[in-house]
């Protein structure tokens, strides 16, 4: 029997999960959204302080849910990156302290590997597989040909799609995080505003969101200056068609070119209803299977970190207690750490 305790603190959620032979015994998430809301985005300094305040409470609650003690844990896993440096530090220090005190292995986990492996709570992976990783900090298309075998075939050249949703929401006066409000308003609107995709090579798998963001911000500000009323539903819909269209087109082209058996959606933006609908429509009638994560594992949590840690435990991928965080850790370098 193997019990793993995993910690996630890369952005604005402090999370602790405990698994026993793959079964989730505890999954605690303390979100800071209500604090960052008033700033319209995550304030890194405040986020790290809150992680420091919340981590012990989350650990205690996870142990209570799992009905076990720290002595019963076989390994301590933690998100080492990517993420906000100060935030990552809090989780890492906690995991290192526990690993040292209880003389158990320390397992360094890549945050995006976590988002991808969250889907294993839904179904088994079939390779080759395409992962559509869309979150507040990352936008990547990843091909997996086997367990923990990640090849990044496309990524954003500037902003992440989630960040773009949040900035567009802000200019429209919608609350933070902006993904869900935009998703909801878009359902009520029509794509009447001329928002264009960036001009990029037709065969690229890369993304670019800063131009789309600037188009919306400029259009809204110009309309306001002229005293025109911005229809929020229509603007959200016009923006979302373009933002999501770029993801679905590239994903389907990659899926066909790489002959994938499965596509999995991962990350906060995979909660988007239009993205989910569009992907379902596009795989219909093909042999490609689509895994859509349940909403609870689209946002940051430690259950997904524990899922990756289970694989790393079997492979004995353990880190020394001198381990440092890496805010820019690349997914294809998940086994390179120090």
Q: Closest approach of Cβ 158 to ligand KG4, in Å? A: 15
Binding site residues, ligand KG4, CB under 6 A: 11, 135-137, 162, 165-166, 177-180, 183, 267-269, 271-272, 299-300
Dihedrals phi, psi of 185, to nearest 5 degrees:
-65, -35
78 beta partners: 7, 108
Residue 165 or 334: the one with the smaller Cβ distance to ligand KG4 is 165
Taking alpha carbons only, the member of 213, 179, 178, 173 closest to residue 196 is 213
Q: Closest approach of Cβ 269 to ligand KG4, in Å? A: 4
Q: How far apart, in whole angstroms, are the C-alpha atoms of residue 112 and residue 300?
A: 10
Q: How far apart, in whole angstroms, are the C-alpha atoms of residue 281 and residue 274?
A: 10
Q: How far apart, in whole angstroms, are the C-alpha atoms of residue 186 and residue 203?
A: 29
23-31 and 129-134 as β-strands: parallel, antiparallel, unpaired? unpaired
Q: Closest approach of Cβ 72 to ligand KG4, in Å? A: 29
Whether residue 14 contacts residue 302, with contact meaning beta carbons closer than 8 Å, is answered with no
User: What DSSP string describes 56-105?
Assistant: HHHHHHHHHHHT--GGG-SEEEEEEESS-HHHHHHHHHHHHHHHHHHT--
Q: Closest approach of Cβ 1 to ligand KG4, in Å? A: 31
Residue 99 or 266: the one with the smaller Cβ distance to ligand KG4 is 266
Q: Closest approach of Cβ 159 to ligand KG4, in Å? A: 10
Residue 313 or 329: the one with the smaller Cβ distance to ligand KG4 is 329
Q: Closest approach of Cβ 43 to ligand KG4, in Å? A: 15
Q: Provide the sign of the torsion angle of the four alpha carbons 222, 228, 230, 234, taken in this order.
A: negative
Residue 216 or 271: the one with the smaller Cβ distance to ligand KG4 is 271
Residue 75 or 161: the one with the smaller Cβ distance to ligand KG4 is 161
Q: Closest approach of Cβ 105 to ligand KG4, in Å? A: 25
Residue 88 or 271: the one with the smaller Cβ distance to ligand KG4 is 271
Residue 183 or 310: the one with the smaller Cβ distance to ligand KG4 is 183
Whether residue 309 contacts residue 128, with contact meaning beta carbons closer than 8 Å, is answered with no
Rg (CA), the chain: 20
Q: Closest approach of Cβ 136 to ligand KG4, in Å? A: 3
For 124, the token pair is: 């088994």
Query: From residue 261, how far is each of 63, 143, 248, 257 by CA, in Å?
Result: 38, 11, 16, 12
Whether residue 118 contacts residue 131, with contact meaning beta carbons closer than 8 Å, is answered with no
CA 116 to chain centre: 8
Q: Closest approach of Cβ 294 to ligand KG4, in Å? A: 13
Q: How far apart, in whole angstroms, are the C-alpha atoms of residue 86 and residue 259?
A: 40
Residue 99 or 208: the one with the smaller Cβ distance to ligand KG4 is 208
Residue 86 or 162: the one with the smaller Cβ distance to ligand KG4 is 162
């Amino acid at each position: 029997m193997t019990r793993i305790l995993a910690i996630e603190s890369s952005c604005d959620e402090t999370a602790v999960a405990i698994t026993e032979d793959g079964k989730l015994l505890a999954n605690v998430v303390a979100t800071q959204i209500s604090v960052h809301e008033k700033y319209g985005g995550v304030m890194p300094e405040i986020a790290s302080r809150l992680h420091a305040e919340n981590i012990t409470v989350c650990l205690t609650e996870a142990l209570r849910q799992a009905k076990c003690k720290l002595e019963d844990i076989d390994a301590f896993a933690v998100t080492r990156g990517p993420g906000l440096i100060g935030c990552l530090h809090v989780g890492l220090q906690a995991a290192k302290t526990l690993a040292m005190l209880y003389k158990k292995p320390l397992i360094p986990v890549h945050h995006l590997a976590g988002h991808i492996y969250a889907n294993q709570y839904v179904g088994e992976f079939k390779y080759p597989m395409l992962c559509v990783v869309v979150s507040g900090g990352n936008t990547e298309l990843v091909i997996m040909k086997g367990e923990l075998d990640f090849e990044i075939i496309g990524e954003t050249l500037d902003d992440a799609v989630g960040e773009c949703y949040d900035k567009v929401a802000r200019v429209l006066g919608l609350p933070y995080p902006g993904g869900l409000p935009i998703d909801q308003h878009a359902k009520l609107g029509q794509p009447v505003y001329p928002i264009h995709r960036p001009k990029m090579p037709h065969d690229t798998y890369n993304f670019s969101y800063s131009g789309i963001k600037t188009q919306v911000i400029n259009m809204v500000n110009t309309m306001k200056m002229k005293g025109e009323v911005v229809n929020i539903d229509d603007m959200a819909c016009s923006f979302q068609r373009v933002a999501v269209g770029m993801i679905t087109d590239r994903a389907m082209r990659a899926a066909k070119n790489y002959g994938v058996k499965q596509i999995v959606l991962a990350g906060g933006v995979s909660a988007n209803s239009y993205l989910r609908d569009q992907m379902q429509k596009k795989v219909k009638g093909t042999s490609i299977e689509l895994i859509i994560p349940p909403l609870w594992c689209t946002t940051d949590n430690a259950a997904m970190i524990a899922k990756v840690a289970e694989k790393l435990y079997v492979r004995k991928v353990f880190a020394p207690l001198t381990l440092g965080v890496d805010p820019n850790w690349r997914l294809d370098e998940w086994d390179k750490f120090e």
